[in-house]
Every structure is written in C-alpha cells, then in structure tokens.
C-alpha cells in the first residue's frame, strides 16, 4: 500500500493532451464579476504517475465556486505539461475563501457546505502506467487566507495491478463485502471528509486494450471492503485478497502481477531419487 502523497498537494487533473476528456456541463460563468486567475502548483503525484512527480496537462479544467456558491469553470492555456499552471475565468465573483473541485465527468454544486455530486470510478478505460483521468476526483481550497494559490487533494482510491502472461480485454474489481466501489458521494468541506450518497455499485469493470507487462490503475470510491477485493480477467477470478480492506482516499493498493503463475512442484519421489543419485543424504 503506497500513499500517493504524504501531506497536502497542490494538484489534480488530467493524464495527457490526447486524453478524451469530457466537458464539464451546467457550470455557467457569472455575468457580474472580473477576470480572475488562480495558480495551481503540482506536487508529488497527480494522474500522471511518473514516479512521484505531478504535472498539469493541456486541456485541464477546474471548477471554483463563486461568492454565491455557483460553479465557474477555470481553464489553462499551457501547451505542455507543467508543474505550475495558471487557471483563468473571464468572469468571477471571488468569495473570501476559494473552494474548488476537479471531477471531469460531473458538474458539482456547493450547498450547505457540501460539494455534490462527485463520482470516483465509473466509466473508465485502461491507461498503461496510469489511470483514466475521467475517473479522478480532487477537491481544493486556498493555500492561505486571501491567497489565489490553490491546494488540491485527490479523494479517490487506486487499485494497482500488472498484467502477466494472460492479457485480458476486461478487468472487473468487486468489493466482496457488497459496499459501494464506484458511486456518487458528497465532500464535506469543513470536515474535509467523504460522505456516501448511497448511490453506486459494488463492482467496476474496465474494458479496453491491455498489454502484457504493463501496470494499470483503476480509480474507485474510498470505502470499507469486508472480505477484501476480488479481481476478474474476462470473468475469470484471478485474485481474491480475502482480508478486510479499508480503501482510503489518495491511496494506492497494489495487487501485484495478475494472474499469479505458480511454479509446479517437483514430485517428492523425484526429489528423493535425484538427491540419492547426487550422493546427498535424504531426511524424511
């Protein structure tokens, strides 16, 4: 189990310029207000898993809630990956403290101190060496009072595995305890905590092109997994962790190389004969 970051990160976002990122919808800009720019600094890990280095990528978008609580989309004009990037909205009425979210396939609202709906996982495609950025969730706020520098935290979990000799066309991960593995959730801003909505599924299937020897990550909703996780390659069980797992936000759970290929044991009588032929003493 590897923590994606150890403290507080100033990054979220997207895998590459070529990724098929869906537009954030129903997040209008406010008619009254001024052009507003924020600075987001990448740290340890974002969705580009190049060691522990994180980058913003061209096409990244974040949503920041204005003084009235309305969501406003901020965009960046960077043309290559960058550890620090500016995001701008043409019209924005800034609140006293900034609250932001990155969730590419959902348009979230801020109401009663909670951001909803957010979705970890869901429809995602395999990405060698990383995970589908459309499955990510990150929330953030001002680095300090009055600051326009944003600090983000990823709030999804990642299940990691490497493809062995059997290359699947689909991989299904199941929460053995039946709890939600992908679904809609709330983010309580003041408590900095996830609240489950009760809407979701206890399994997630990621279909697409996999390659032998490549490592993949599947984004899931943090939750309890009583009895652990089961993993299926093309509906064939290849891993059952068995033990209870608590899937924590911003944490990677490494399941190793799948499926596990066990070396056949040499029959005992053959071992005895070989040892005797070699003049070795055999103790039974």
Q: What is the pLDDT of residue 62?
A: 87
Closest CA to 251 of 166, 155, 167, 187: 155
What does the alpha-carbon distance between residue 124 and residue 143 come to, in Å, rounded to a whole number?
Answer: 31
pTM over 0.85: no
pLDDT > 70: what percent of the chain?
75
Q: What is the pLDDT of residue 33?
A: 61
The edge-to-edge listing of strands for the beta sheet with 2-3 is: 2-3, 251-258, 157-163, 215-220
CA distances from 238 to 123, 163, 164, 216, 252 (A): 22, 11, 11, 15, 19
Look at residue 175 in the predicted model and tell me its pLDDT: 97
CB contact at 8 A, 202 and 174: yes
100 pLDDT exceeds 50?
Answer: yes
Higher-confidence residue of 192 and 270: namely 192
In angstroms, the CA 176 to CA 229 distance is 5
- Does the pLDDT of residue 10 top 80, yes or no? no
pLDDT band at 114 (very low <50, low <70, confident <90, very high): very high
Distance CA 221, CA 219 (A): 7
Region of poorest pLDDT, from 133-147, 172-186, 207-221, 241-255: 133-147
Average pLDDT over residues 42-67: 65
Mean pLDDT of the chain, nearest integer? 78
Q: Which alpha helices (H) appear in the chain, and where do they start and end?
A: 268-277
Q: Classify residue 27 by burial, with Cβ atoms within 10 Å: 0-12, 13-18, 19+.
A: buried
Q: What is the mean pLDDT of residues 162-188?
A: 95
Classify residue 273 as left (phi > 0), alpha (psi -120 to 50) or beta: alpha
pLDDT band at 76 (very low <50, low <70, confident <90, very high): very high
């Amino acid at each position: 189990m590897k923590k994606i970051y150890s403290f507080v990160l100033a990054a979220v976002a997207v895998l590459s310029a070529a990724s098929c990122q869906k537009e954030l919808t129903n997040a209008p800009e406010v008619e009254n207000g001024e052009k507003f720019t924020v600075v987001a600094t990448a740290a340890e890990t974002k969705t580009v898993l190049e060691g522990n280095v994180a980058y913003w990528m061209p096409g990244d978008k974040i949503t920041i809630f204005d003084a009235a609580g309305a969501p406003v989309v901020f965009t960046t004009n960077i043309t290559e990956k960058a550890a620090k990037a500016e995001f701008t909205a043409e019209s924005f009425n800034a609140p006293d403290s900034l609250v932001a979210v990155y969730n590419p396939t959902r348009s979230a609202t801020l109401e009663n101190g909670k951001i909803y709906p957010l979705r970890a996982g869901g429809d995602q495609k395999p990405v060698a060496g990383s995970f589908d950025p459309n499955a990510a969730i990150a929330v953030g706020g001002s680095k300090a009072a009055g600051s326009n520098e944003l600090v983000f935290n990823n709030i999804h979990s990642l299940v990691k595995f490497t493809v062995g000799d059997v290359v699947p066309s689909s991989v299904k991960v199941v929460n053995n305890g039946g709890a939600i593995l992908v679904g809609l959730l709330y983010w309580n801003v003041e408590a900095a905590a996830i609240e489950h909505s009760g809407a979701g599924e206890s399994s997630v299937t990621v279909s697409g092109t996999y390659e032998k020897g490549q490592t993949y990550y599947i984004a899931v909703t943090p939750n309890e997994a009583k009895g652990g996780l089961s993993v299926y390659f093309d509906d064939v069980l290849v891993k059952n962790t068995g033990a209870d797992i608590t899937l924590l936000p911003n944490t990677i759970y490494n399941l190793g190389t799948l499926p596990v290929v066990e070396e056949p044991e040499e029959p005992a009588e053959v071992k005895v004969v070989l040892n005797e032929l070699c003049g070795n003493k055999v103790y039974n």
